């Protein structure tokens, strides 16, 4: 058994491709999702048309520009040129203050600001408008402090758990899930399929080793590596991306271990149905990767999917693991809140193990 594990490590460490997948991928993915694919808006170019140019509009402008979300772009001569500016894509948002802003505010207790955003990118537009109204509302609160007039109550939305709408919070659980799935399921299925393809599996099965020992010897190294990977991703997201771990770290690691075991049994199952490395690779790519990315709720919210896809997403193991990771890392919840998801993953693991054993026996016949 020890020899088995040593041999498997030799296989991994001597194959450049395996090494890249195992160690390059996590780092690249985390950084990619963390920085490049961020959905946060920073330094969006805005233009401001100020028809009154008094102390109030200047204060609001300063507040907007110092928020970090916006930077002042070209001066726009007037409303007539607005469309032209948008068409060139030079600005994402234009803010227009009406004339005599401060006077109106004092006299009528209300004044108008027009916010126009480039909605060809609807998400960004939405965010920008929200940021802008938030900042203006903030200013309004400050402004009202000087008065004793009753303040009108307005609805206030609050972003729970992620008040800064940091996209890292959304991506890290997804990235951990995808990587654990990829490394464990894909790598094990490929490495078992390789032994079958090379004919070495036959030799191993003729030996006094039991099939279960052969398989265990093959997958154990991947458990270790996948776990090391999970740790790497967590460390990276904690130190580089500033992702918190609010809940219990031990619980998070234990759940990761369970998920790794589930992915492993899935990998073994894939290898029992595929004859070659290519087939194992294709199966893992199409049967695992795409659904993991598309249907697990990682990128597209499950609630927005058509009902049939929502049903399908229920059988996607990553869906449940993402919930677990989010609950522990972001919400800081304990086991009593995630036992259902844990049970589902454990059930899936048992299911795939049973299926693989059955398949394996048939194949030996």
CB of 352 to another protein, least distance (A): 24
Count the alpha carbons within 13 Å of 226 in the hemisphere toward its beta carbon: 31
Q: Which helix (H) or strand (E) holds 93?
A: strand 93-97
Does the protein bind another protein through residue 16 (CB under 8 A)?
Answer: no
Cα(188)–Cα(267) distance, rounded to whole angstroms?
A: 6
Q: Is 202 in the site for another protein (CB under 8 A)?
A: yes
Q: Is 365 in the site for another protein (CB under 8 A)?
A: yes
Mention every residue, 6+ apart, whose C-beta is less than 8 A from residue 28: none
| Closest approach of another protein to the CB of residue 251, in Å | 38
Considering only residues 78, 163, 199, 306, which one is a binding residue for another protein as defined by CB under 8 A? 199
Written as six digits, the tokens of 147 are 């008065």
3-state secondary structure (DSSP) of residue 71: strand
**Residue 68 DSSP symbol:** S
209 counts as binding another protein under rule CB under 8 A? yes
Residue 188 or 342 with smaller CB distance to another protein: 188
Q: What token pair was written down for 272? A: 């029992």
The answer to the question of residue 4 lying near another protein (CB under 8 A) is yes
Nearest approach, Cβ of 164 to another protein (angstroms)?
A: 48
- Taking the complex as a whole, how short is the minimal distance between the CB of residue 199 and another protein, in angstroms? 3
17 lines the binding site for another protein (CB under 8 A): no
Where are the alpha helices (H) located in the chain, listed in sequence order? Answer: 2-13, 16-19, 25-31, 55-65, 82-87, 101-108, 122-145, 168-180, 187-198, 200-206, 211-239, 249-273, 277-283, 290-295, 307-313, 317-326, 335-364
Helices 211-239 & 187-198 angle (0-180, nearest 10): 150
Q: Which two tokens stand for residue 218?
A: 């093959």
364 lies in the binding site for another protein (CB under 8 A): yes
CB under 8 Å to 67, separation ≥6 — which residues?
Answer: 131, 135
Q: CB of residue 361 vs another protein: minimum separation in angstroms?
A: 11
- String of contacts with another protein for each residue 306-345, x by CB under 8 A: ----------------------------------------
- Residue closer to another protein by CB (options 16, 160) is 16
Q: Judged by CB under 8 A, does residue 9 bind another protein? A: no
Among 3, 163, 301, 308, binds another protein (CB under 8 A): 3
Q: Are 177 and 318 in contact (CB under 8 A)?
A: yes
Q: Does position 362 bind another protein by CB under 8 A?
A: no
Between 37 and 212, CB nearer to another protein: 212
How far is residue 238's CA from residue 197's CA, in Å, rounded to a whole number?
41
Q: Quick one: tokens of 58?
A: 């200047």
Ordered strands of the 93-97 beta sheet: 70-72, 44-50, 93-97, 113-117
User: How many residues make contact with another protein (CB under 8 A)?
Assistant: 22
Give the shortest CB-18-to-another protein separation in angstroms: 10
> What is the closest distance, in whole angstroms, from the C-beta atom of residue 5 to another protein in the complex?
11
* Residue selected from 205, 273, 289, 293 as contacting another protein according to rule CB under 8 A: 205
Q: Residues in the site for another protein, rule: CB under 8 A? A: 2-4, 6-7, 10-11, 14-15, 198-200, 202-209, 364-365
């Amino acid at each position: 058994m020890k020899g088995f594990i040593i041999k498997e490590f030799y296989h991994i460490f001597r194959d450049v491709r395996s090494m890249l997948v195992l160690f390059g991928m996590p780092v690249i993915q985390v950084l990619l999702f963390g920085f490049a694919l961020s959905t946060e808006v920073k330094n969006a170019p805005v233009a401001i048309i100020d028809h009154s140019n008094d102390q109030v509009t200047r204060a609001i402008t300063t507040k907007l520009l110092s928020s970090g979300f916006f930077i002042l772009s070209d001066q726009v001569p007037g409303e007539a040129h607005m469309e032209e500016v948008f068409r060139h894509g030079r600005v994402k948002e234009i803010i227009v203050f009406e004339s005599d802003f401060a006077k109106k505010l004092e006299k009528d207790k209300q004044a108008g600001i027009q916010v126009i955003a480039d909605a060809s990118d609807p998400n960004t537009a939405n965010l920008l408008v929200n940021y802008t109204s938030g900042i203006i509302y903030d200013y309004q609160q400050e402004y009202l402090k000087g008065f004793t007039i009753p303040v009108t109550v307005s609805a206030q939305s609050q972003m729970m758990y992620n008040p800064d709408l940091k996209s890292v919070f959304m991506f890290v659980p997804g990235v951990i899930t995808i990587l654990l799935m990829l490394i464990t399921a894909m790598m094990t299925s490929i490495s078992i399929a390789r032994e079958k393809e090379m004919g070495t599996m036959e030799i191993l099965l003729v030996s006094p080793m039991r099939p279960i020992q052969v398989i265990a010897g093959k997958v154990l190294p991947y458990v270790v590596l996948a776990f090391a990977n999970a740790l790497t991703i967590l460390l990276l997201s904690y130190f580089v991306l500033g992702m918190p771990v609010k809940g219990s770290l031990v619980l998070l690691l234990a759940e990761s271990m369970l998920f790794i075991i589930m992915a492993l049994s899935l990998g073994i199952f894939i290898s029992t149905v595929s004859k070659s490395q290519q087939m194992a690779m294709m199966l893992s790519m199409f049967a695992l990767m795409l659904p993991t990315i598309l249907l697990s709720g990682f990128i597209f919210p499950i609630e927005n999917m058509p009902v049939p896809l929502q049903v399908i997403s229920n059988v996607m193991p990553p869906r449940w693991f993402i919930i677990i990771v989010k609950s522990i890392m972001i919400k800081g919840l304990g086991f009593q809140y995630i036992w259902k998801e844990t049970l589902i993953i454990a059930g899936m693991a048992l299911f795939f193990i049973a299926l693989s054993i059955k398949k394996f026996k048939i194949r030996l016949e």
